[in-house]
Amino acid sequence: MNKAKYPFLDLGLVNAVYADRIKEAVCRVIDSGRYIGGEENSTFERKMSELTEADCIVGTSNGLDALRLSIMALIISGRLHRGDKVMVAANTYIASILAITDAGLTPQLVDPDDDSMLLTGDIVRQNITADTKAIMPVHLYGRVAWDESMGLIAQERNLIVIEDAAQSIGAKAHVKGLFRSSRAGALGHIGAFSFYPTKNIGALGDAGAIATHDPELADICRALANYGSDRRYHNFYRGYNCRLDPMQAAILSVKLDYCANETQERFARAVAYENTISNPLIRKPSISRMPTDSVWHQYVIRCPRRDELQEFLARHGVQTDIHYAVPPHMQPCYSTLPHRPLPITEQIASEVLSLPITPACTSVKDASDIGRIINQFK
């Protein structure tokens, strides 16, 4: 295949920017002789705690495990019970739903807001039932799914708030969360991050983290990730092995230093798209709420003839991606999952198209060029 003039994402380029510091970090781990846990993990957790304003951070093997352990800790601590319903927007990545069903809870799939493509407080209010015990706002595409009304209904109805912050490292809501932070992942009772290589801050392999203000939940998560062991050779829970690799922790400690700068660069590309794209066939993401409440993990436009648009762009050298073409409830593994009709979710899946936005691969000028190409689509 020919190299596209405007590639969607080249992870080699993304990490080349930090290559010297990453190599230094990896060498430090090699020389340390400590390959599980240790200081690298503590440094990473301290940096994540500063970024999210969460009291406790627990590094994990990946984002799905961070979500799974978070939910299990809520069950172990008696705050959730098997069979409880967790309300979640149906247009999410499948990992959100896998974590819910894996823990023996029931996903209550709802359509997101058609404009923001996120769960909102009003949607929670409209769909809540006596069985709804938790909500899982997914900060999809880097935008924070949190508003005043969501905080109010969570408090009124004693809902547990589990955030899927996999796509929103460093994002900030404009209203405060349930506790003292207004940062994605630290708005509710517990939140999960992913550092999958393509995420807005990516490891060089799998990595994740849990954020919470509750030391009890953090201790349970840390034990669960380490064979259920609360101290050496004492297994309090039937746990797992879901620890964060210190090599990834060391690499992430480098990249977290540049998180704010990365976000600013992504925002500049989003602005270029916003200012250039003016095609009546295209629906752009709203940018007015910016820049604080999105880290622009993806810039996602909508078009009723999405597949044609994607081919048109490919012919003009613009590589794009789709997040996500098949929603979880339409995947074979969930063919028996009960749910209400989800027309907005299904329409979103047929219309969304992600444009290149990663700073290392796409310049602001590239974004304007791509915008002008999009304007030629008829």
Ligand X SMILES: *Cc1c(COP(=O)(O)O)cnc(C)c1O
User: Smaller CB distance to ligand X: residue 256 or 309?
Assistant: 256
| Burial tier of 19 (Cβ tally within 10 Å: 0-12, 13-18, 19+) | exposed
Q: Which residue is associated with the tokens 């012919």?
A: 315
User: Smaller CB distance to ligand X: residue 93 or 296?
Assistant: 93
For 98-133, b/e burial (b = at least 16 CB within 10 A) is bbbbebebbbbbbbbeeebbbbbbebbeebbeeebb
Q: Least distance in Å: CB of 323 to ligand X? A: 8
**Whole-angstrom distance, CA of residue 15 vs CA of residue 167:** 18
Candidates 47-55, 71-79, 87-95, 106-114 — which segment interacts with ligand X by CB under 6 A? 87-95
Tell which one of 15, 70, 92, 320 touches ligand X (CB under 6 A). Answer: 92
Residues 125-154 interacting with ligand X (rule: CB under 6 A): 138
User: Smaller CB distance to ligand X: residue 94 or 271?
Assistant: 94
Tell which one of 44, 141, 146, 196 touches ligand X (CB under 6 A). Answer: 196
Indicate the Cα dihedral angle 193, 344, 157, 134, nearest 10°.
-40
Applying CB under 6 A, the site for ligand X has a residue count of 15
**Whole-angstrom distance, CA of residue 60 vs CA of residue 238:** 17
User: Smaller CB distance to ligand X: residue 74 or 95?
Assistant: 95
Tell which one of 166, 225, 256, 357 touches ligand X (CB under 6 A). Answer: 166
**Whole-angstrom distance, CA of residue 284 vs CA of residue 179:** 33
Candidates 33-41, 73-81, 123-131, 161-169 — which segment interacts with ligand X by CB under 6 A? 161-169
Tell which one of 40, 48, 63, 188 touches ligand X (CB under 6 A). Answer: 63
**Whole-angstrom distance, CA of residue 301 vs CA of residue 304:** 10
In the DSSP assignment, the letter for residue 42 is H
Q: Is 60 a residue that touches ligand X (CB under 6 A)?
A: no
Interaction site with ligand X (CB under 6 A)? 62-64, 92-93, 95-96, 138, 164, 166-167, 194, 196, 206, 208
